[in-house]
Structure 1
Amino acid sequence: MSDTPFGFGLPPEEPEDGDEGKKKDQESGGGQGPANPFGFGLPGAGGFGGPGADNPLAAMFGSLNPTDLGAAFQQLGQMLSYEGGPVNWDMAKQIARQTVAQGTPDGVKDASVGASERSAVQEAVRLADLWLDDATSLPSGAGTAVAWSRAEWVEATLPAWQELVDPVAERVGAAMGDVLPEEMQAMAGPLIGMMRSMGGAMFGTQIGQAVGVLAGEVVGSTDIGLPLGPSGKAALLPANVEAFGRDLSVAQDEVRLYLALREAAHQRLFTHVPWLRSHLFGAVDGYARGIKVDTAKLEDVVGQFDPQNPEQLQDALQQGMFQPEDTPEQKAALARLETALALVEGWVDAVVHAAAKPRLSSADALRETLRRRRATGGPAEQTFATLIGLELRPRRLRDASRLWASLTDARGVDGRDALWHHPDMLPTATDLDDPDGFVHREQMDFSELDKMLGEAAGKPDLRKKTDDEAAGEAENGGEAKGDGTE
């Protein structure tokens, strides 16, 4: 459980380079006004630990000129009048775009993608798909290949973040009305409504910061093992791809191609396993529904709530207002989610390695670099820990990759990929503890699996008949009829 479930700080806003950056800033609601006039998550004036922290509104407003003051009141009105879901996604988008605009910690700014970069990405994905044809039975899932800027990644992935985060935020929003006695809830209706609006703004601010920071790290649309972008669209971020390979002793073309292999492999899986997306997002939702809100802490917040100090709710979120329930059901939900994510990432790791190993001299080094990136707090681990309090277990990824590789050796590519036909066929968390046992255990009869799949698809049984079966059919004059006669 993360101690700071929404704890990314937002550095001071800086404009993007060039006219294109200014245009994007205007479209996202940015511009000349303050990046965050109420100091949510900001150091310094009105922020945590800075001068005026006891009354951030007064501190901030006192330092603003009349134009900025008007903008601040306008944003406050928008925040308090928000009547959408549990998260103010308009604010999340604005903060994410502003976080992207000020650049990464190493000073790299976001910029529009040039024609040469788009061409390089398209060629890398095209070649990656050709290589993957030999490593998996799943056909290409990338109808198009695109090169995104960080701002474009934010725009394209926000709908998926909304689906992932809303269940957790909903729990907090509902709890705000439950902490008061029933007879007081009607009297406190306006206050509760204001708190929910403020809570939605707090969630929106923190999620926007998290997504904005993540946009400076990810190299594609599937880095965290979930389909965040539009279906069938393989995407790479050239600026982040370059940053990823900067300190490696590997040619940039090889880095781009290896990352394109991973993106294209994810697209094959998500496109041709139609139940997988809902299975993954359902696992996140199931885990979120088991989260309980610390009502004692929330009661303190409600009892001492000061409309002039909106950072109270921010503090409560950062101090860990919600905890996973310690129940068998919640533990099972966590295991399902971790296993599902590990199986996706493990399959991609195994398939990409099989495709790259014979062709890229740097395949082993790039594979290990990506594994360590995940294990030491890469995009997946940090984002899940930040947004839903979930810590991924990196060892599960290695276990899953070994399981898929063992399945390939034992049953071939087709037999391995056949497990994706239905979620009930996939390995469990227990199977990841003993991959070799799963592959070789007696009850895993792949001939019966092939028969079942053939019947489900309305196809004949293509198994090779045993001598006893063939003799029995000959003796009876053929196979049994569907009407029960022989």
Structure 2
Amino acid sequence: MTDDNNPEDDFQEMLRRMLGGEGGPGMGGIDFEQLKNMGIHVDPAQLQQMMGALQGAFNAPGDGTISWDATRTGALHIANRDDRGVTAGQHTELDQAFHLADLWLSEVTTLPPLPQPARVLTRGQWVEETLPVWQELAEPVATSIADALTEAMREQAPEDMQDFVQSAGKMLRQVGGSLFAAQLGQVIGKLSLETVSGGDVGIPVMPAGTAAILPQNFADLGHGLEIPEDQLALFFAARELAHARLFRHAKWLRLHVMSQVTDYARGISVDTAALEDLASRFDPSEPAELQNALSSGALLPQQSEAQEQALARLENMLALIEGWVDVVTAEATARVPSLDRIAEATRRRRATGGPAEDALAALVGLKLRPRRLREAAAMWRAISDAVGTEARDALWDYPDLAPTAEDIDDPAGLIARLEAAARGEEAPRDEMDEALDQLLAEADGPDDAGQDEGPRPV
């Protein structure tokens, strides 16, 4: 390189050649036939989307922001590839199932019905509806990785190249962020092939109060269960409506859950040692190594203590939600002959998750499955038996009424308080009440001790 050349111009020209497809028969100079002969099987369409994301990062304004266009494009490519749409027959059958399930639910819960009818979605429609939530979930991680990639490459560069790396820093950040966005699109697209309903993922990915089923995935789920499809439809319709009723009634709940998820995600750090090692070899024309590192979770270190605590709080809340939905769904569908088999198959499916959920856990560092579901469901059943449906459902009215992790472990104290309230009595005092009284007494101090002695002389 001569003194007359601008290092930034040289660097950008190099990327133009690599990302523009010069020098070879495939996208970015990649020879797919040669890769195949080497035993490496690559989906040309997916790789083209990923390289397109890199091109978009190169051509984007240099403000350092991450473009999520690649996420939408990649997710829809997978979702629509084998999307058979929704037939008129499926619409009719699921509409009937939703109608009957709604009537049954009104018999077992005081939470009101939805104002709008449930929806029947294609896989592509599910992607479009849920994309804003996935972006909100992934953005803190994408930003951390993109920033760390830029910093690692800066630290790897020799002193005489610092100006060169600094000038291209925003573009390097966009390249890392765009690769993450493209990888997220692959995960969401694969999730669209597995998820059955709006509440199936565990977090509220659909707009509040929206119930929806994906008939193509619902039909695929029923193939191996040997259970009549109309019974499956009633069960999943009741479950989805219960989930949607809960989030519409408890308006605080969606924000509460998403705040916990994003707080956890913002605490994610990047394994700088692994990233520095990767950055020392990173070639933007061959992003597969970075893609593999993102998808495997290799760049995300072990959870910190603060993250473990945040995850425990999130898992408890998800268990409360899923446990309530399980209990209400079982009560509503008690007339379904195959209820026990369907419920057990649903629990197994939820416990094991699927490949796409594992990919999401590796990418974002968060597995969205409650570990304490059975205990939470047992708590809700005990509350129902003790104080009835109305008192049980009223616990969702305000966030400070919702059961705690301690209530899941031992529901007896919560039930005693609810029974006392039903009799119009003062709730039994517990250790928390005593501790609160002590704190208030210490806060009052000795100055308030003589307040009852009468007025002081003027």
TM-score by length of 2: 0.76
Q: Which runs of 5+ in 1 are unaligned?
A: 1-35, 103-108, 451-462, 467-486
Report the alpha carbon displacement of residue 272 of structure 1 after superposing the two structures with TM.
Answer: 0.8
CA distance 1:145–1:171, change in 2 (3 Å)? same
* 1:156-180 per-position Cα deviation (integer Å, ceiling 9, x unaligned): 1111111111122222123234444
Maintained 8 Å contact 2:386/2:415? no
Taking the aligned partners of 1:114 and 1:338, their CA distance within structure 2 comes to 37
In structure 2, what residue type is equivalent to 1:77?
Answer: Q
1:445 matches 2:422: no
CA distance 1:218–1:52, change in 2 (3 Å)? closer
Taking the aligned partners of 1:228 and 1:378, their CA distance within structure 2 comes to 17
Does the residue aligned with 2:325 lie in a helix, a strand or coil? helix
Across the aligned residues of Structure 1 and Structure 2, the Cα RMSD in angstroms comes to: 3.5
* 1:100-131 per-position Cα deviation (integer Å, ceiling 9, x unaligned): 233xxxxxx31221222222222221211111
1:98 matches 2:74: no
1:326 matches 2:304: yes
Report matched runs for 1:440-479 at 5 Å.
440-441=412-413, 445-446=417-418, 464=424
* 1:348-394 per-position Cα deviation (integer Å, ceiling 9, x unaligned): 1111001111x111111110000001112248953652442223565
Quote the residue 2:175 is aligned against.
198
Task: Give the aligned length.
Answer: 394
Does the residue aligned with 2:70 lie in a helix, a strand or coil? helix
* 1:162-209 per-position Cα deviation (integer Å, ceiling 9, x unaligned): 111112222212323444469987652343223222222221222111
Report matched runs for 1:280-299 at 5 Å.
280-299=257-276
Does the residue aligned with 2:118 lie in a helix, a strand or coil? strand
CA distance 1:201–1:121, change in 2 (3 Å)? same
2:122 to 140, 144, 149: 149
CA distance 1:190–1:256, change in 2 (3 Å)? farther
2:145 to 172, 184, 190: 172
* 1:207-239 per-position Cα deviation (integer Å, ceiling 9, x unaligned): 111111111111111101222123333111111
Quote the residue 2:197 is aligned against.
220
Does the residue aligned with 1:298 lie in a helix, a strand or coil? helix
Report the alpha carbon displacement of residue 133 of structure 1 after superposing the two structures with TM.
Answer: 0.8
Report matched runs for 1:294-309 at 5 Å.
294-309=271-286
Does the residue aligned with 1:315 lie in a helix, a strand or coil? helix
Q: Which runs of 5+ in 2 are unaligned?
A: 1-25, 427-458
Maintained 8 Å contact 1:89/1:204? yes
Quote the residue 2:237 is aligned against.
260
Report matched runs for 1:101-250 at 5 Å.
101-102=80-81, 109-141=82-114, 143-179=116-152, 180=154, 187-250=164-227
In structure 2, what residue type is equivalent to 1:251?
Answer: P
Report the alpha carbon displacement of residue 322 of structure 1 after superposing the two structures with TM.
Answer: 1.3
Quote the sequence identity (%): 41
Quote the residue 1:5 is aligned against.
none
Report the alpha carbon displacement of residue 46 of structure 1 after superposing the two structures with TM.
Answer: 5.4
CA distance 1:39–1:257, change in 2 (3 Å)? farther
Maintained 8 Å contact 2:208/2:254? no
2:59 to 72, 77, 81: 81
1:368 to 323, 340, 344: 344
Does the residue aligned with 1:441 lie in a helix, a strand or coil? helix
Maintained 8 Å contact 1:254/1:360? yes
In structure 2, what residue type is equivalent to 1:112?
Answer: G
Maintained 8 Å contact 2:54/2:178? no
Moved more, 271-280 or 385-394: 385-394
CA distance 1:52–1:120, change in 2 (3 Å)? closer
Does the residue aligned with 1:323 lie in a helix, a strand or coil? coil
Taking the aligned partners of 1:296 and 1:135, their CA distance within structure 2 comes to 55
Taking the aligned partners of 1:265 and 1:44, their CA distance within structure 2 comes to 51
Question: Max radius of gyration: which structure?
Answer: 2
Maintained 8 Å contact 1:292/1:322? yes
Maintained 8 Å contact 1:43/1:50? no
Structure with greater helix share of residues:
2
Report the alpha carbon displacement of residue 431 of structure 1 after superposing the two structures with TM.
Answer: 3.5
Does the residue aligned with 2:388 lie in a helix, a strand or coil? helix
CA distance 1:224–1:393, change in 2 (3 Å)? closer
Quote the residue 2:293 is aligned against.
316
Maintained 8 Å contact 2:202/2:369? no
1:338 matches 2:315: yes
* 1:380-435 per-position Cα deviation (integer Å, ceiling 9, x unaligned): 95365244222356541111111111111112111111221222332333443x2x
TM-score by length of 1: 0.72
Moved more, 202-211 or 261-270: 202-211
